[in-house]
Structure 1
Amino acid sequence: MIQSETLELLEWSRLCQHLATFAATKLGFVAARNLVIPTLQAESEKLLAQTKEVYELETRLTAGLSFEGIQDIGESIERAGLQGILAGNELLKVATTLSGARQLRRVIDNQQDVPVLTDLVAELRTYPELEQEIHRCIDDRAQVADRASPNLAGIRTQIKQLRTQINRLLHNILQRHSNAVQEQIITQRGDRFTIPVKAPQKDAIPGIVLDTSTSGATLYVEPNAVVPLGNQLRQLVRKEQVEEEAVRRALTEQIAAVQTDLERLLAIATILDLATARARYSLWLHANPPRFIDYPATETITLRQLRHPLLIWQQQHEQGRAVVPVDLLIQPHIRVVTITGPNTGGKTVTLKTLGLAALMAKVGLFVPAKEPVEMPWFEQVLTDIGDEQSLEQSLSTFSGHIRRISRILNAISSIDNQEVSTSSLVLLDEVGAGTDPAEGSALAIALLKYLASHAQLSIATTHFGELKALKYQDERFENASVEFDEVSLSPTYRLLWGIPGRSNALTIAQRLGLNLEVIEQARGYIGGATEDVNQVIAGLEAQRKRQETKATEAQQLLEQAERFYGQVSAKAAALQERERELRANQDAAIQNAIAQAKGEIAQVIRRLQKGPVTAQDAQQATNTINQIAQKRLSPPPKPKAGFKPQIGDRIRIPRLGQTAEVLSNPDDDGAINVRFGIMKMNVKLEDIESLDGEKVTLPKAKKPEPKSEEQPTPQQAAPAIRTSKNTVDLRGSRVADAERVLDEAIALANGPLWIIHGHGTGKLRQGVHAFLKQHSRVTRYEAAEQADGGTGVTIAYVE
């Protein structure tokens, strides 16, 4: 009973509802809503292993695991086992489920490093022959197909012919007695064909009246001439139904024969879907897999940045406030943690967060905390949270708490009669509250000492100052408190360890304007010792804040140093790569020059070998070889001093700490346009340098040239000339193929690009224009001159 109370107090059903939204099938949805909590640690370990492997597949596969086609066919299988006959739509569901399960198994079998899932689907039997037989006999409309039975096909042929005969006969009657009918149509009443006859002329067409219109003006008559045919048609339809039922019965018997395997298939599909839901929910929570530790033997409970999963959902879907994480680091010797602090400070939320984390780990969910997540496997999670006051049962708040605590103690003693339990997590909210403070405090101390000896771990919130001193009397106790901002008079929801919470009631009352005389008198009643304790606690809190500030500053410095180191390493790597490229280009140029020189020298030698060699020939050959050496083997000229940026060069802007691409030549003011990332800007030549640190040689001011010479200015560009290199012919291509070819052409272009797409339907031209419009290197585009192709050719200007 206390277990169900705990789940209700922790709002476990809400978490299950959230988990169910990540299920892909109805099977998984129902299983998630009714999540079963394991009773053995081995079961939890197995569930966690499933979640980890599916989590890995979800991040590895583009669409994750697919459960398409898998449906809840449990009732159909059960009815087949009881010799019932399944309908056509139920048979199709069985077939699609078999196909979906087979596809799921194929995906898992093709993956590496998923041994748990591979073992799970190894025993999955999907009966492809049964699936094929169902699809052969049942069409897409869930009707029995003609091909299912030769007899059925013959019967349906007879039915079709008979209906055609009836329709032809009725049309003849309609034409002969057109004045007596209400409309020139043939209607059906049940399985009988009728003619709508005007009531006053019912005798004009002898037959059986099968129905009457609401107004009574129309009678639906089956003419005597078609009654025998109608009777014959009814017999054939009945034969058809019998034959269809025989087909469906045969398929149902095949399903019943493999009922056990199909039930196992559904169970495996449910397990996989539930594991997928757990993995996707964990991924959405940004949670991490827990590791069950040996506590309280040697290992520490580690839950850093632990967040409440229901509050995360509320923040994301209901626009709630930001979730404040808590840190829970509990040493192995600690059995009881008392949390103190003001109301609405987050004490109760801390209890619920830990309780939900323990349950999530048990059912195979990841825990929304920072890695590593290390916690014990608790066999029982027992809570007393909230007000148990009940007017119907005449229970006060204190009585309700005591009754629930009694059930907790009974649950602990029922599973472990040893001195120390190794399996229970006990969460108590406002322990000892609701009665006389002195007696309530004494009861709380006794209860917590009992739990220290009989429960694995207990967390209790309290306002009693006496409980703060337990830490200094018994090493199994630890203090924690929720932080309170005295400036804003509001809690920060942060959990502080090792420091008990101090009383803030008088401070708050004073700042809210309560009479100072009353406040001073209250302080006198408290006594000096309490004030001294509060001052000591205040000093500890101030010291903690200073340490946290220094730790934050140190962390920021470390991150800044790591960032600078990364930038310097990247720049050094870029320079080394640039140096390797230059060296490789120089080596290639030298080798090319040597090869050409050798070829030319070989030609000279071959000419000398063709005939007798004279001194004049030898001298001429020597002169030729000297010319080759001077031309081909002379050392490369030294680069001129200074760096001149060209369009397309990569340069560095030291004052911005950025590398950029040159987009334009220097203007009259000595500035160039550059781009880094998605940004473009103008920079002065003196503000840039090459990637190897060489500064730009600034051009000297030139005297204006005489106007009479009419020399072209730098801004006057040479007219663009169409060649085979700057022309792309896309005629006959699809838009997708044309975009790929066009992207490659633009990447190599440096100026106008003529694109031949023709007229046709206009789709290729529209696709080309849409592609050019969004391309970052195309500044504009326009149709060519009429003599150059007109609207069948587009000129794109590439920067």
Structure 2
Amino acid sequence: MIKTETLDLLEWHRLCQHLSTFAATKLGAVAARGLQLPTTKTESLELLAQTKEVYSLEQQLDSSWSFKGIEDIGESLERAKIGGLLSAQELLDLATTLAGVRKLRRTIDAKTEDLPTLTQLVTELRTYPEIEQEIHHCIDDRGEVADRANPKLAEIRSQIKRLRDKIYKILQNIVQKQVGAVQEAVITQRDGRFVIPVKAPQKDSIPGIVHDISSTGSTLYVEPNAVVQLGNQLRQAERQEKREEEAVLRALTEKVAAVQEDLEQLLAIATVLDLATARARYSWWLGANPPRFVDVNQGETVTLRQLRHPLLVWQQQHEQGTEVIPIDVQIQPQIRVVAITGPNTGGKTVTLKTIGLAALMAKAGLFIPAKEPVEIPWFEQVLADIGDEQSLQQSLSTFSGHIRRISRIIEASNLEDSLILFDEIGAGTDPAEGSALAIAILKYLAEKALLTIATTHYGELKALKYQDERFENASVEFNDQTLKPTYRLLWGIPGRSNALTIAHRLGLKPEIVEDAQQRVGVSTSEELNLVIAALEAERREQETKAKEATKLLEQTERFYTEVSAKASSLQERERELKIAQEKAVQQAILAAKAEIAQVIRRLQQGEQTAQKAQKATDELNQIAERELAKTKQPKRTKPGYKPKVGERIRIPSLGQTGEVLSIDEEEKQLTVRFGLMKMTVATDEIESLDGQKVEAPVKPKTSSSTTAKQTPSKPAVAVRTSKNTVDLRGSRVANAEADLENAIASATESGVLWIIHGKGTGRLREGIHEFLKRHPQIERFELAPQNEGGSGVTIVYLK
């Protein structure tokens, strides 16, 4: 009972309702709304593995995997099991469900190595394609039995069509001939018989059987005698059609009943997959991360940084709620009890509910809305006493209601693996007795429970930390300047109640607050509050410095990563150039040896004279010079200064600066404007603002006869290769950045880089685009055309 009460107090059912909105099928939505908590850690680990694998799978796929066609066929299977007859639509739903689950299995089978848990789940799955094909053969897309299902059925339907056409033709002739007797020139049906609306006074004009009368009695619906016999034949043919349809449906139903247990297992697996998908999509929407179960008895710390209340996140996103303030939770392994103090309306109760829901979410296989690493124990039970259990019907006061619930918590079994949450423990009675009772309860639970967290205003509980190492203090922060709570959770420092300050902020008359302040005086409690305030100020200062240090460390790590990546890239390019040079030298040596061998052969074949020996020597020298010239790298010349249109330049002879309006390359002249004047000057009369002169072009030597005309070469078209393409699908953003840095370095020569990130949810693409915006080597980037991957590929242009 206390477990159910705790789920209600933590509003677990609201979270399940939110989860159900991410389900793709009716089955998954129903399962999410009634989400059951596992009873063992092994079950929780399996659920978490399913969630992780679906989360990863949806990041890798170009589009989310689909549950299209999967319907709730549970009732149909039950009816088939007891011998009932399934309708054509129910059988069609069953066929589409088989096809939908088979498609899911194929997706999993294509990535078996990455999805071990899901692969194990669908290992024994049977989708019976032969039953699906038989159903589609007999049932058309409208959910009706098709003519092809049975040759006899097709013949009967053909007969029905002929009879109807014949009846219509006869009735149309009657309507045309008896225009005055017909109320309206239409042919309708009553009780499956074709009739004509006849005016009551003119009923004898069209003899036949009256099947119905209008509400006013002015119209009779008459089946003329001329079509009665045909109508009887039609009725008989329709009954034959129904019997044949039932025979087809009966045969299909029997095939379904024969494998009913396998189909129920298939439906259960489809539900598990949909529920895992809902958990993954809800976790992604929350910006949550997968938890790791830690064992505090083995010295592991509970870590929940930037933890947010999932229901408040939903309220902020969907109901225009206020911004959610995250809390940091870090509990050392020896701690068994945490006492949270601080002012009312400061967020103590929300903190309790946030931690309680985080424990339940991890247990149910959901990610926790906190920053990585997310480390929390696996709690067999989460038990809570939150809120007021006052009851007039049961004659229970506030204090009595709390004690009743606390008694049920203490009497629960397996407290050694439980999380206990108390809100305002010991409240509602005499402060001295309530404080003593609260201390006794918490000391008892320090021995029995895995972790207890309690909120309180009792000062005596703040001192427990200094008496017992199993106790820890925490407090909700209060801003003395704004006189408002910040909702941040501070660890190691007890809180101040600030009752008088809050009373003043909430509108209590100032004279009453001042009178209360005078009555309190400067007591030991007030001195303690001053000490706590000083500690809080010191803590805030240390936090500010820690944030600055963290930011500097992150910058240093980023710079180190960039420098390391560039150094690795340069080393790789140097190695490649060295290999290329060695290959060129080897080829040159081989070519030279071949030519030298030819020279020697010619020398040996002919008469050996001094003239021929000299000629051979000259040829050898020419080969050596030519091949050595190939291996020498040309000296790089520093490009000279060239003015550009729109640039500001200096004219030293005039002592003026001006703007270049146009450039005449052939005449080596520029049109310059300074002030209101324009003038033309030679290029050698100007210089840049930093003193660079225009270098005179070196005229190439040309032959006396002809001058070769050189055409400007067109820029090379970028070609997509393995060296300038990187596939980041399946990577997380943090891991993808390092791979992307290496890819940018490798693609420097080509100037273009293709990044394949897939479509998926878009989270990886957004992270990559943010990284590219900050990168100094990136000139611009854009999504690829549709024929090259569309929104699943980004093309990057390097500087």
The two structures have a TM-score, normalised by structure 2, of 0.74
Structure 2 counterpart of 1:497, from 474, 491, 494: 491
Structure 2 counterpart of 1:551, from 530, 546, 551: 546
Structure 2 counterpart of 1:532, from 522, 527, 538: 527
The answer to whether 1:11 aligns with 2:11 is: yes
- What's the offset of the Cα at 1:646? 11
- Aligned AA for 2:422? L
- Aligned AA for 1:547? Q
Partner residue in 2 for 1:361: 362
Deviation digits for residues 447-468 of structure 1 (CA, Å, limit 9, x no counterpart): 3233333333221111121221
Partner residue in 1 for 2:140: 139
- What's the offset of the Cα at 1:544? 2.2
The answer to whether 1:405 aligns with 2:396 is: no
Note the residue ranges of structure 2 that are not aligned, 5 or more in a row.
Answer: 644-662, 672-686, 698-708, 718-748, 752-779, 783-799
- What's the offset of the Cα at 1:607? 8.0
| Distance in 2, Cα, partners of 1:145 & 1:290 | 53
Deviation digits for residues 570-594 of structure 1 (CA, Å, limit 9, x no counterpart): 4434544554566566667666766
In structure 2, the residue corresponding to 1:415 is in which secondary structure? coil
| CA 1:33–1:669: 2 relative to 1, 3 Å | farther
The answer to whether 1:441 aligns with 2:435 is: yes
Equivalent residues in 2 for 1:75-90, closer than 5 Å: 75-90=75-90
Partner residue in 1 for 2:317: 316
| Distance in 1, Cα, partners of 2:502 & 2:10 | 31
- What's the offset of the Cα at 1:201? 4.9
The answer to whether 1:41 aligns with 2:37 is: no
| Distance in 2, Cα, partners of 1:328 & 1:669 | 71
| CA 1:164–1:748: 2 relative to 1, 3 Å | farther
Equivalent residues in 2 for 1:88-167, closer than 5 Å: 88-110=88-110, 111-167=112-168
The question of whether the paired residues in 2 share the 8 Å contact of 1:412 and 1:455 is answered with no
The question of whether the paired residues in 1 share the 8 Å contact of 2:384 and 2:420 is answered with yes
- Aligned AA for 1:469? A
In structure 2, the residue corresponding to 1:245 is in which secondary structure? helix
| CA 1:587–1:214: 2 relative to 1, 3 Å | farther
In structure 2, the residue corresponding to 1:284 is in which secondary structure? helix
- What's the offset of the Cα at 1:483? 1.4
Partner residue in 1 for 2:228: 227
The answer to whether 1:466 aligns with 2:466 is: no
- What's the offset of the Cα at 1:136? 2.0
| CA 1:119–1:566: 2 relative to 1, 3 Å | closer
| Distance in 2, Cα, partners of 1:552 & 1:637 | 52
Partner residue in 1 for 2:700: none
Partner residue in 2 for 1:51: 51
- Aligned AA for 1:639? K
| CA 1:542–1:17: 2 relative to 1, 3 Å | same
The size of the alignment, in residue pairs, is: 673
Partner residue in 2 for 1:455: 449
Partner residue in 2 for 1:432: 426
The question of whether the paired residues in 2 share the 8 Å contact of 1:2 and 1:404 is answered with no
| CA 1:541–1:142: 2 relative to 1, 3 Å | same
- What's the offset of the Cα at 1:25? 1.2
The question of whether the paired residues in 1 share the 8 Å contact of 2:641 and 2:694 is answered with no
The question of whether the paired residues in 2 share the 8 Å contact of 1:646 and 1:665 is answered with no
| CA 1:36–1:631: 2 relative to 1, 3 Å | closer
| Distance in 2, Cα, partners of 1:132 & 1:120 | 25
In structure 2, the residue corresponding to 1:299 is in which secondary structure? coil
Partner residue in 2 for 1:268: 269
Partner residue in 2 for 1:339: 340
The question of whether the paired residues in 1 share the 8 Å contact of 2:388 and 2:402 is answered with no
In structure 2, the residue corresponding to 1:283 is in which secondary structure? helix
Partner residue in 1 for 2:555: 560
Deviation digits for residues 166-188 of structure 1 (CA, Å, limit 9, x no counterpart): 33434444555566556665443
Partner residue in 1 for 2:238: 237
The question of whether the paired residues in 2 share the 8 Å contact of 1:174 and 1:181 is answered with yes
The question of whether the paired residues in 2 share the 8 Å contact of 1:148 and 1:247 is answered with yes
Partner residue in 2 for 1:326: 327
Deviation digits for residues 584-642 of structure 1 (CA, Å, limit 9, x no counterpart): 66667666766776777788788889987887676666656655555554474751542
- Aligned AA for 2:356? G
Partner residue in 2 for 1:639: 635
| CA 1:116–1:645: 2 relative to 1, 3 Å | farther
- What's the offset of the Cα at 1:525? 3.9
In structure 1, the residue corresponding to 2:485 is in which secondary structure? strand
The question of whether the paired residues in 1 share the 8 Å contact of 2:391 and 2:401 is answered with no
The question of whether the paired residues in 2 share the 8 Å contact of 1:484 and 1:491 is answered with yes
The answer to whether 1:68 aligns with 2:64 is: no
- What's the offset of the Cα at 1:90? 0.9
| Distance in 2, Cα, partners of 1:72 & 1:352 | 35
The two structures have a TM-score, normalised by structure 1, of 0.74
In structure 2, the residue corresponding to 1:431 is in which secondary structure? coil
- Aligned AA for 2:151? P
The question of whether the paired residues in 1 share the 8 Å contact of 2:175 and 2:182 is answered with yes
| CA 1:540–1:520: 2 relative to 1, 3 Å | farther
| Distance in 2, Cα, partners of 1:498 & 1:150 | 84
Partner residue in 2 for 1:475: 469
Deviation digits for residues 104-162 of structure 1 (CA, Å, limit 9, x no counterpart): 23333332243333332223232222222222222211111222223222222222222
| Distance in 2, Cα, partners of 1:126 & 1:468 | 62
- Aligned AA for 1:71? E
More deviation in 180-189 or 355-364?
Answer: 180-189
Note the residue ranges of structure 1 that are not aligned, 5 or more in a row.
Answer: 648-663, 671-684, 688-695, 704-716, 727-746, 750-775, 779-799
More deviation in 31-40 or 184-193?
Answer: 184-193
The question of whether the paired residues in 1 share the 8 Å contact of 2:389 and 2:401 is answered with no
Deviation digits for residues 655-684 of structure 1 (CA, Å, limit 9, x no counterpart): xxxxxxxxx9999999xxxxxxxxxxxxxx
| Distance in 1, Cα, partners of 2:213 & 2:98 | 50
| CA 1:686–1:73: 2 relative to 1, 3 Å | farther
| Distance in 1, Cα, partners of 2:232 & 2:195 | 13
| Distance in 1, Cα, partners of 2:298 & 2:575 | 58
| CA 1:609–1:217: 2 relative to 1, 3 Å | farther
| Distance in 2, Cα, partners of 1:188 & 1:524 | 93
